Amino acid sequence: MTMQPPSMSPSPGSTPEQVSFHRTELSVILTLYGRMVAAGEWRDYGISCLKDRAVFSVFRRTAENPIYRIEKTPKLRNRQGMYAVIAMDGQILRRGHDLRTVMRVLERKLIRPV
C-alpha cells in the first residue's frame, strides 16, 4: 500500500489548498494591465494566491498600497459572482460571474474626456 503525500493534487470534490488565477483569466487581466501601463496609469502589480481567494493587485507606484484589486473568490460563485474589482478604500466597484464584464469598470478609467 502506497501513501500519497499531502502536497499532491486534491481529490475530486475536495477544496484546493489555495486559489489561483487560470491562464485564460490572467490573459484577460494582463491585456488590460498592458494597456493601462502604456497609458501611464499603472506601474506595477502583485499576485497573491490565498486559501480562499486569488488577488491581482495594481499599483501606481511600487511602494504604495494597491489602487485596485481584482479578486477571484470561488466560494461566491453561486451567489453574487466570484470576480470583484475593489478600489483602494475597500469599495467594491463591480462584482459578477464574468471576468471581462467585471473589468469593464477599469476600462472606463482608461477613456478620459479631453
Rounded to whole angstroms, the Cα distance separating 57 from 32 reads: 13
Report the percent of the chain where pLDDT is more than 90: 25
Evaluate whether 109 touches 54 at the Cβ level (below 8 Å).
no
C-alpha cell at 5: 503525500
Which has more pLDDT, 69 or 62? Answer: 69
Rounded to whole angstroms, the Cα distance separating 74 from 91 reads: 20
Q: How confident is the model at residue 77 (pLDDT cuts 50, 70, 90)?
A: confident
Evaluate whether 103 touches 32 at the Cβ level (below 8 Å).
yes
Of 15-19, 44-48, 73-77, 78-82, the one with minimum mean pLDDT is 15-19
| Mean pLDDT value across the chain | 80
Residue type present at position 87 = A
- pTM (predicted TM-score): 0.76
Name the DSSP class of 76. G
Average pLDDT over residues 28-53: 89
Average pLDDT over residues 57-79: 85
Q: How confident is the model at residue 86 (pLDDT cuts 50, 70, 90)?
A: very high
Rounded to whole angstroms, the Cα distance separating 114 from 103 reads: 23
The yes-or-no verdict on residue 76 having pLDDT over 50 is yes
The yes-or-no verdict on residue 106 having pLDDT over 70 is yes
Per-residue pLDDT at 40: 85
- Checking DSSP bridges between strand 92-96 and strand 68-72, what pairing results, if any? unpaired
Residue at grid coordinates 498592458: 34
